[in-house]
Structure 1
Amino acid sequence: MIATLEYVDILDKSEQLGKMVMNSDVMEAYQKTRVELDENKEAQKLIKAFSDMKDQYDDVQRFGRYHPDYYNIMKNVRSAKRDMDMNDNVAAFKIAERNLQKLLDEISQFVANSVSVQIKSPKDGAALNDSSCGCGSGGACGCAS
């Protein structure tokens, strides 16, 4: 019975922590920039153009530089991404997104360290990164974790 009460207490505290994150200034800034991004027609046009170009890029990747339009599509993808990233609404959203990710990473790190320093937790958005294999071996396998 004690274990059950401890679990309920942990769940209650985690729910409180979630509410604190949802009511934080960082989350408010994220939500505000998200709405502004969604409502900005120019930003949406640039995002759509980049997304369409990325579909072509994915097709080209199957053949690599042997694809007849490889260099042209690669140049167009970089150009579309630069145009999208230079939009003020997109840039503001990306900053807010990074700040929120940093907050969540710090919370994960704090919770993990409160249990044990051996517990791994995401850092710098590593949970969303494709660069690490997430094997948990601490880099012994040669990965970037």
Structure 2
Amino acid sequence: MVEMMESVDMAELIKHSDLLSTMINQSAPMEEYLQAKRRMNEDAEAQQLFALFEKKKVLFEDVQRFGKYHPDYHKISTEVRQLKRKIELLDSVQAFKKAEDKLDSLLYQVSRIIADSVSDTIKVPSNNPFLEAKSSGCGSGGSCGCSIRKTS
């Protein structure tokens, strides 16, 4: 009887998770993300800079093996940083990053709600350190100085 109940619950859980993923895929943040990604992929300047960045990155990785002792280390690392900054300043890239952050926030909120409904000590990873503040620390009360939330 218990096995039958568990499989029914699992089937129901999968059904609801499928519905949830459909809702997320049809959400405004997802649509904004896909549109921003498409615009960035169609941006000729962005694509040219991405290709150049990949080439510079390979050079940098080669130079980085020797560190500051390589004669071109500072030159190549400066070029990589400048190119990365140039890419980050493109409107299409900024719009993509903004849309990506909104989608990430939505996914975090959904994950946080699910985790909190199970236990308030479950960690939910996020790309945003401010969102992770609630779940930061190891929760063990060890040498890191954090502790498990006390219930009064």
Per the alignment, in what secondary structure is the counterpart of residue 119 of structure 1? coil
Q: Quote the residue 1:35 is aligned against.
A: 38
Query: Unpaired runs of 5+ in structure 2?
Result: 130-136, 145-152
Q: Quote the residue 2:101 is aligned against.
A: 98
The question of 1:14 aligning with 2:17 is answered: yes
Aligned-residue CA RMSD (Å): 1.8
1:65, 1:94 → 2: CA distance? 32
1:1-145 matches, cutoff 5 A: 1-125=4-128, 137-138=138-139, 140=142
Q: Which protein shows a greater Rg? A: 2
Per the alignment, in what secondary structure is the counterpart of residue 71 of structure 2? coil
* TM-score, scaled relative to structure 1: 0.85
The 4+ residue runs of structure 1 with deviation greater than 3 A are 136-142
Query: Unpaired runs of 5+ in structure 1?
Result: 127-135
Letter of the 2:62 partner, please give it. Answer: D
**Per-residue displacement from partner, 1:96-135 (whole Å, max 9, x unpaired)?**
1111111111111111101001111113357xxxxxxxxx
* TM-score, scaled relative to structure 2: 0.81
- The answer to which structure, 1 or 2, has the higher relative contact order (CA under 8 A, 6+ apart) is 1
What is the number of residues matched between the two proteins? 133
